[in-house]
Structure 1
């Protein structure tokens, strides 16, 4: 039996597979599908944890999930930007061209790199070439994870959509809102943010630029209830939970 029946078909844009090097949380394919079924999630965008595991092997496991659950699982590549250009572009080509992944991930904390570093240019260039979004961890892990650091790339790569994961992680949410206010190609994913800040995001940039992500499976029902508890209409809920991610990630 599922709950949240009136939002059946929701899309979770932030799901991890593997073992996190920070929290120690281990997430398996079966656990992902079970959580999706329990809470009425139609599709999930799955990426590697910031992990000590082999990232190419985790990418392969995500691809296998996408084959086992077509239309329900979509991959997102999280490739170490410290790799050489050749190595980075090679893994990106495998993930996007061969595996059909729909986005790239930059984790300034997990990758230990500033978004302003020259090493990140290849991420933005690949996203521009393949016309796919870049999801960027923001909030925890400063100074590299400050939302404002994405303004430069957003201005220089206007055709690329940048999704600020966690939208500043509560503490830096105002900064994420300002970044999105002045960069129309910045989208906010407010996992772990308080409800009143989500209202501020919607009032500032509109429902068309907000998406839902869980980050951890145990947080999924919390994020779903968060959007239901702030007085949104059914049409606005469907916009955030279904229509926006379909458009942004070309699902």
Structure 2
């Protein structure tokens, strides 16, 4: 089984990238991906992100058990507006997580607006994915140590493992808090191998970020020196545990 925990659907208003539905379907067919958690691309206003959330919810309804949703409104929206939309996504649309894009939305995860995301995730009992890597200083993985310790019952997934630029900080963060996990998009195979041995493969999750990246990410898992058991954890078992997918 293969579960992609990091994929987008919609037009990205920060990075000018179109994440299409056709690409997601093709990814499932070409690379035998079984389940994908879709999140909106980067949106500034509530109306646009609500439209993208609704499109993701429609995909989940049309393809039950194959596509799931992750909420990603801008945390700088007014508190009541932000909470209402996230609650709608989780409680009404069945979404399985929340995203903080530290870079696209200029959010420090330990700041006021970052903290409100973790508080809400705790109430709703869902994980939080946080962009790490490009986007210093907000995207530094060590910024997640304090939130992880403050909310020990919230699973936090560090998107991209800090990329290469913040790989060292990823290891520091994972040593500090057991509820920190990481998706493996845009990270090096040798780091993944070392970290799986050091921290356990159960703390790493497969993802693509962009559908075009699926083959590359799969090849990395299969060729970087992981055991069969470690590959199984990364490709689907970790996601099933963290996001409680059946």
TM-score, normalised relative to structure 2: 0.95
Structure 1, 151-160 or 183-192: larger mean CA deviation = 183-192
Structure 1 residue 25, shift from structure 2 partner:
2.2
The equivalent of 1:48 in structure 2 is: 40
Structure 1 residue 190, shift from structure 2 partner:
2.0
Structure 1 residue 115, shift from structure 2 partner:
1.1
Over the aligned positions, Cα root-mean-square deviation in angstroms equals 1.2
| Distance change (3 Å), C-alpha of 1:37 and 1:63 | same
Distance (whole Å) between structure 1 residues aligned to residue 14 and residue 222 of structure 2: 30
Q: Which runs of 4+ in 1 moved over 3 A?
A: none
Alignment counterpart, residue 160 of structure 1, candidates 131, 148, 154: 154
Distance (whole Å) between structure 1 residues aligned to residue 118 and residue 77 of structure 2: 15
Distance (whole Å) between structure 2 residues aligned to residue 89 and residue 23 of structure 1: 25
The equivalent of 1:18 in structure 2 is: 10
2:42·2:104 contact (CA, 8 Å) conserved in 1?
A: yes
Distance (whole Å) between structure 1 residues aligned to residue 41 and residue 116 of structure 2: 21
The size of the alignment, in residue pairs, is 243
Alignment counterpart, residue 230 of structure 1, candidates 224, 227, 243: 224
> Map of 1:69-108 to 2, 5 A cutoff?
69-108=63-102
1:181·1:204 contact (CA, 8 Å) conserved in 2?
A: no
Alignment counterpart, residue 133 of structure 1, candidates 127, 139, 143: 127
2:122·2:151 contact (CA, 8 Å) conserved in 1?
A: yes
Distance (whole Å) between structure 1 residues aligned to residue 188 and residue 12 of structure 2: 24
Structure 1, 106-115 or 229-238: larger mean CA deviation = 229-238
Structure 1 residue 201, shift from structure 2 partner:
1.4
Structure 1 residue 52, shift from structure 2 partner:
5.2
> Map of 1:105-184 to 2, 5 A cutoff?
105-184=99-178
Distance (whole Å) between structure 2 residues aligned to residue 97 and residue 188 of structure 1: 25
Deviations 1:15-56 (A, max 9, x none): 001122344221122220111111010000000111357001
Distance (whole Å) between structure 2 residues aligned to residue 30 and residue 152 of structure 1: 39
1:18·1:51 contact (CA, 8 Å) conserved in 2?
A: no
Unmatched runs of 5 consecutive residues or more in structure 1: 1-8
